[in-house]
Amino acid sequence: MGFECSRDSKGFFYGFLNKILMANVKLLFCDYENDQIQLRCFANTGNLIFIDIEDTGQDNDYNSQFICLDKATAIKLSKTLKTAINEIE
């Protein structure tokens, strides 16, 4: 099992599990109406779930917001999201 750590332009460290699933993969979820608004989600090296929403069409200090969730909170979010999806007709 291999791990890599990298630092983004804002100085945040990210850990990536590499060589087990696929290397060099970045999964982005794009907004329904504006594909320049993107969400990414992964487990960081502190065992927290990192969720970042970024507007790549904006060039300022406020184009990205993130939240880190512990495992229990991330599970609750996942269940809440599943419930909301099931309510869509």
What is the model's pLDDT at position 62?
Answer: 81
Domain membership of residue 11 (yes or no) is yes
CA 27 vs. chain centroid, Å, equals 8
What is the model's pLDDT at position 26?
Answer: 73
Domain membership of residue 34 (yes or no) is no
Q: Partners of 29 in the beta sheet?
A: 39
Instruction: Specify the pTM.
Output: 0.64
Range of the domain at 12: 2-29+40-86
What is the model's pLDDT at position 22?
Answer: 43
Residues 75 and 73: their CA atoms lie apart, in Å, by 5
H-assigned helices in the chain: 71-86
Q: Which residue has the higher pLDDT, 49 or 7?
A: 49
Domain membership of residue 69 (yes or no) is yes
pLDDT digits (tens, 9 = 90+) for 32-81: 999 899 999 988 888 899 999 999 888 887 888 999 999 999 999 999 99
Domain membership of residue 55 (yes or no) is yes
How many domains does the chain divide into? 1
